[in-house]
Amino acid sequence: MNFKKELPLLIIIVLPLIYLGYIYNSLPETVPTHWNASGEIDGYGNKSTLWLITLLLPVLVYVIMTVVPKIDPKKKIATMGKKYNQLKFFLVLFMSILALYIIHSAKSQSLSNPNVIYILIGLLFTFLGNYMKTVKPNYFIGIRTPWTLENETVWKKTHQLGSKLWFAGGLLIVFVGLIFKNETAATLFLVIVIILTIIPLLHSYLEYKKLN
């Protein structure tokens, strides 16, 4: 591992841990751990569970993204080069921001704006849409259906469609998060995510049937 190259990521990873460590003693023993679509608290837990959040979000994603290229049997991920490193950086950054927001919400005992989560996820979809067409066939990242994994042409066509669809869908999710509130935002968000999931899946099946 190139420590100098990984240093920016390691700094991003520890930010939620530093923030949680700084405020930990001031937190009550029981803190909010879940909110409904309206931003109302509907679940509590021990404050120690916040440490788990900081581990499961940025740290786990960092470990997975670091290990995957080394265990990829086809070694296709390694051929992405800088594109993969940029993807890894953004995903870790996204998870760290999400962890910071959750910790802050637990501290303030309220989810000041639940739509922030939708906006963040929308930005994530937009970013992934930018990179999807560059992902080579592999067993770990991308739209991995039985049909994309079976045929490289199906993989390529599915990811070309998915790239455009996720980019546009991500922008639409951001728009929903900025304009709509509460249950309306939650419903629209869920519908969009289902569409972004189902269409590439169906497309991969149809492309495979067309070729076979």
Q: Mind listing the pLDDT tens digit for each residue in 35-74? A: 766 666 777 788 888 898 888 889 999 999 999 888 888 7
* Confidence (pLDDT) at 23: 92
Q: Are residues 92 and 132 in the same domain?
A: no
Task: Give the DSSP letter string of 30-51.
Answer: EEEEEE-TTS-EEEEEETTHHH
User: For 73-80, what is the mean pLDDT?
Assistant: 80
Q: Residue 45: CA atoms inside 13 Å, Cβ hemisphere, count?
A: 13
| 4 and 101 share one domain | yes
* pLDDT value for 83: 85
Shared domain check, 156 and 89: no
The span from the CA of 30 to the CA of 71, in Å, is 40
Q: Are residues 39 and 101 in the same domain?
A: yes
Last residue of a domain, one of 112, 131, 153: 112
pLDDT-wise least confident of 2-16, 106-120, 133-147, 198-212: 106-120
* 153 and 56 in a common domain: no
Domain boundaries, position 175: 114-212
Residues 120 and 108 in one domain: no
- Which residues, other chains included, contact 50 with Cβ-Cβ below 8 Å and sequence gap of 6+? 20, 24, 27, 31, 102, 103, 106
| 161 vs 77, more confident | 161
Q: How many domains does the chain have?
A: 2
Are 58 and 83 within one domain?
Answer: yes
pLDDT of residue 31: 83
Structural domain ending residue among the three candidates 60, 95, 112: 112
Greatest C-alpha distance within the chain? 63
- Is there a single domain that holds both residue 9 and residue 84? yes
Give the pLDDT band of residue 193 (cuts 50, 70, 90): very high
- Containing H/E element for 174? helix 152-179
Task: Identify the pLDDT of residue 6.
Answer: 85
Q: Do residues 37 and 101 share a domain? A: yes
Q: Mean of the pLDDT values across residues 182-189?
A: 88
Among 75-84, 147-156, 170-179, the minimum mean pLDDT is found in 75-84
Which pLDDT belongs to residue 43?
A: 73
Answer for the pair 155, 97: CB distance below 8 angstroms, yes or no.
no
Domain endpoint, select from 57, 91, 112: 112
Task: Judge if 119 and 211 occupy the same domain.
Answer: yes
pTM: 0.83
| 97 in the same domain as 119 | no
Section 164-192 average pLDDT: 93
Based on DSSP, count helices (H) and strands (E) in the chain, helices before strands.
8, 2
Distances (CA, A) of 212 to 60, 64, 162, 198: 39, 35, 21, 21
Q: Residue 136's pLDDT band (boundaries 50, 70, 90)?
A: confident
The tokens describing 168, both together, are 């546009």
Confidence band (pLDDT; 50, 70, 90) for 205?
A: very high
Phi, psi of 95 (to 5 degrees): -65, -35
